[in-house]
Amino acid sequence: MTSSVTQILRHPLKSIGREALTEVELSAGKWMPFDRKWAVAHERSKLDGGWSKKANFLRGVASPSLMAVEAKLDTAAKTLTLSHPTQDSITIAPDTPEGAKKLIDWLHDLWPIDLPSPTQIYRAKNAHLTDVPDPWIAINTTASLKSLSNRVGSVLSPHRFRGNIWIDGTAAWEEASWIGKTLQIGAATLEVKAQITRCKATMANPDTGLRDVDVLGTLNDLGHQEFGVYAQVVHSGRIALNDPVEIL
């Protein structure tokens, strides 16, 4: 069975916005460029300048509305555009005080008033703000997504899982057996490190920002809460849509 890349995604602002790419240059021992580069901290966050646990930031598990945000990063202009089905789009410079204020104002109707209020845009030194401190990239398969969709009786969007690379042409749930194996994706080589344990954020529809499917319960019925795997780039290279994928 021939496998290939069907989607490449990054999330410049952790939990707030997804962006589809046609290609990306991956570097050994590094995160996907600009993926989870920033996050929004709240009034109870405990930050020290470096990587911090996800509880310190606004997340879709606490506010499903955030799951419906789409993003567009202009790396040359250093601006980030965010859109939501219930909000006017905004463009901010995330590294500026003005950008942070504009974003926090925009989030007012998307973040529950009874939760710790957002306070700032946070950018860690020498790290991206993924859920784990390691420079890992999230990989998912369309076959497992189809299998899960069949179980819940509804077509599930891949955006529920906020992965980086989606692969077509595998067997359903095959990726669970990839731990310790190497993937050749386009010109890059990645070593699969661990499965990804999921949370209630996957229950939100990324088109509406409303919880509509018990994805977590369905995974639990299978005896686990894992969907997808983390992998680390071991040899740098460019990957693009439709690139072949080989399990070594």
In a domain, 127, yes or no: no
Backbone angles phi, psi at 188, to 5 degrees: -100, 155
| Residue 197 and residue 137 in one domain | yes
Where is the domain boundary, 74, 93, 122?
Answer: 122
| Residue 103 and residue 16 in one domain | no
**pTM, 2 dp:** 0.96
In a domain, 22, yes or no: yes
| Residue 104 and residue 177 in one domain | no
| Residue 155 and residue 82 in one domain | no
CATH code for position 234? 2.40.33.20
Where is the domain boundary, 96, 122, 148?
Answer: 122
| Residue 60 and residue 94 in one domain | yes
| Residue 156 and residue 233 in one domain | yes
pLDDT of the residue at 1: 66
Q: How many domains does the chain have?
A: 2
pLDDT of the residue at 45: 97
Where is the domain boundary, 72, 98, 122?
Answer: 122
| Residue 14 and residue 77 in one domain | no
| Residue 141 and residue 239 in one domain | yes
| Residue 80 and residue 197 in one domain | no
What is the extent of the structural domain holding 48? Answer: 39-122
Provide block-wise average pLDDT over 10 residues at a time, the chain (248 residues).
Answer: 94 98 98 98 97 97 97 97 97 97 97 96 97 97 98 96 98 97 98 97 96 95 96 98 96
